[in-house]
Amino acid sequence: MTSLRARILAASLPALLSAGGCNFIFNPANSDDVIRCKNTTECEKEDVFFDKLNTERLDATCAAPGGSATFGTSKTNQVCSLVDKASVSCATEMLPAGDFADAVAAADTNKAVYTSCPADQRGKLGCEPTNSGTCDANLEKSEFGICDDGKGFPLYAASAELLYQDIKDQHCRSYFCDDSFVCNSKTSKCVRCDPDADASQGGCGELALAGGPSTVYQSQDALTKACPDVSTFEGTKFGPVVVDPNL
């Protein structure tokens, strides 16, 4: 199974280089290729940042770029950069009317699916391995210890504590038009996923429900095709919520 870190790097590197990503310094046609600043407001007023900031998926920041032969770390040597927007909420309380609220309501109705697999399903896709630690043919344990086919992000097990996690993750994916974004449920903020983080706290993975990845997730191809010019909290989109077969 290809390592998660390699998959994340391969998927995110083009986006980081072309769309601003984390800590990417924008390079205008200046003699030293940077825009110097004293505060973030100065960066936000720069014409060269306008198009990217106007998408509402990136923030400007003014900071020292780190010590190098060219720059020091002094506050008098700060430059403008673009970083992932840090203020996008993925909290599920007091939601305005829209698809996010509808998906949460549907998941609440079907919350019984947010449980671990029954004992007779151990070893199958999206379930824990058998008592002997094995998975069915063509499956291997994911980074989170769940039987996985190695396609896409690694699967992690459902639990009552992870109710809505798939919906919150998809909200972040849809807002940023990027499947490497997830919801850190500890902070209720959208973040670019970290392979070393726990599943619900910014980790790179997908919640397994009813024998596979939750159907609420959309692929990168679907996210790209549906990506609006400007993202809004109320405008995020979702796949169908997994239905409790016993209802």
- Cα–Cα nearest to 113, from 123, 127, 101: 127
204 contacts: CB under 8 Å, gap ≥ 6: 4, 8, 153, 154, 180, 182, 193, 194, 195, 197
Strand partners, 181: 192
Work out the number of other CB atoms within 10 angstroms of the CB of residue 201. 14
- How is residue 226 written in tokens? 């549906």
pLDDT above 70 covers a percentage of the chain that reads 82
Tell which residue, 136, 114, 112, has the closest CA to residue 125.
136
Quick check: 67 pLDDT over 70?
no
Mean pLDDT on 69-98? 80
Instruction: Give the pLDDT band of residue 64 (cuts 50, 70, 90).
Output: confident
Q: Give 49's DSSP letter.
A: G
Predicted model pTM:
0.81
Q: How many helices (H) and strands (E) does the chain have?
A: 6, 8
* C-beta of residue 169 within 8 angstroms of C-beta of residue 180: no
Cα–Cα–Cα angle for 232, 167, 90, nearest 5°?
A: 50
Q: Give tens-digit pLDDT for 204-226.
A: 999 999 889 999 999 999 999 99
d(CA 232, CA 98): 11
- At 196, the pLDDT band (50, 70, 90 cuts) reads very high
**Both tokens assigned to 157:** 């097990």
CB distance 182 to 237 below 8 Å? no
pLDDT at 33: 65
**pLDDT on residue 4:** 52
Q: What is the pLDDT of residue 72?
A: 43
pLDDT at 121 over 50: yes
Q: Is pLDDT above 70 for 35?
A: yes
**% of the chain residues with pLDDT over 90:** 61
- 83 contacts 38 by C-beta, under 8 angstroms: no
User: What pLDDT is recorded for position 240?
Assistant: 97
pLDDT of residue 25: 46
Query: Tell me, what amino acid is at 223?
Result: L
- Alpha-carbon separation of residue 196 from 90, 127, 202, 208, 213 (angstroms): 21, 21, 9, 19, 20
pLDDT of 27 > 50? The answer is no
DSSP H helices, the chain, are 4-19, 40-44, 50-54, 99-109, 165-176, 220-225
Q: What ranges in 85-227 are assigned the alpha helix state H?
A: 99-109, 165-176, 220-225
